[in-house]
């Protein structure tokens, strides 16, 4: 227990991810989940959740690294490499892991580009992305959610229709309006 708040019970939080159609009525489900948790001595609350992601603008071989997405949404579109932050992971560690998984590159973070939180930025639901500018080292190799990985000259990358709000992130990272 925290000494400054002795009445606060220290607990672990777990999330059961339930994917429901937009606008679905969860009232009956919510009550069933609460009753199930109580039978096991737990407390359950049903809240809509936000996903936390990272995106990387990687400078490598005098260009910008982009992946071609393997899956929907935006299947076959070019995108910045990135993905979801795992529980217990810092955004910096998540960025390094995701960059390695999708591009094969090790990255050195140069700076934070920004936090992108428009609720409509991802058609799968509300995600907030922390974007970084970094330098890539190593050999390119597509993996995980990346069908392909390429290095584009900056001027060409800026003209491509990118997935999500990645065009905005790329422009912000490079200081282009």
**Backbone φ and ψ of 8, nearest 5°:** -90, 120
Give the Cα separation of 176 and 162 in Å (integer): 15
Residue 156, phi-psi category: left (phi > 0), alpha (psi -120 to 50), beta (remainder): alpha
pLDDT at 8: 62
How does residue 46 score in pLDDT terms, banded at 50, 70 and 90? confident
Arithmetic mean of pLDDT, 94-105: 97
Against a cut of 0.85, is the pTM above it?
Answer: no
Which carries the bigger pLDDT value, residue 140 or residue 41? 140
Domains, in order of start, for the chain: 1-49 (no CATH), 51-174 (3.90.79.10)
CA distances from 43 to 2, 5, 37, 126, 154 (A): 21, 20, 6, 25, 51
1 has a pLDDT exceeding 50: no
Give the Cα separation of 165 and 120 in Å (integer): 10
Active site residues: 148
């Amino acid at each position: 227990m925290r000494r400054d708040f002795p009445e606060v019970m220290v607990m672990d939080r777990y999330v059961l991810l339930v994917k429901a159609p937009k606008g679905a009525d969860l009232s009956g489900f919510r009550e069933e989940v609460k009753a199930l948790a109580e039978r096991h001595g737990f407390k359950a609350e049903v809240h809509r959740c936000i996903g936390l992601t990272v995106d990387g603008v990687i400078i490598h071989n005098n260009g910008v690294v982009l992946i071609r997405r393997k899956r929907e949404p935006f299947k076959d579109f070019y995108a910045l490499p990135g993905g979801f932050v795992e529980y217990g992971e810092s955004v910096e560690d998540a960025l390094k892991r995701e960059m390695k998984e999708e591009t094969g590159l090790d990255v050195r973070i140069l700076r934070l580009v920004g936090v992108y939180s428009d609720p409509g930025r991802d058609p799968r639901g509300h995600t907030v992305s922390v974007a970084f500018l970094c330098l890539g080292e190593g050999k390119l190799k597509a993996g995980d959610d990346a069908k392909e990985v390429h290095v584009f000259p900056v001027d060409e990358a800026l003209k491509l229709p990118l997935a999500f709000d990645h065009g905005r992130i790329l422009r912000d990272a490079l200081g282009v309006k």
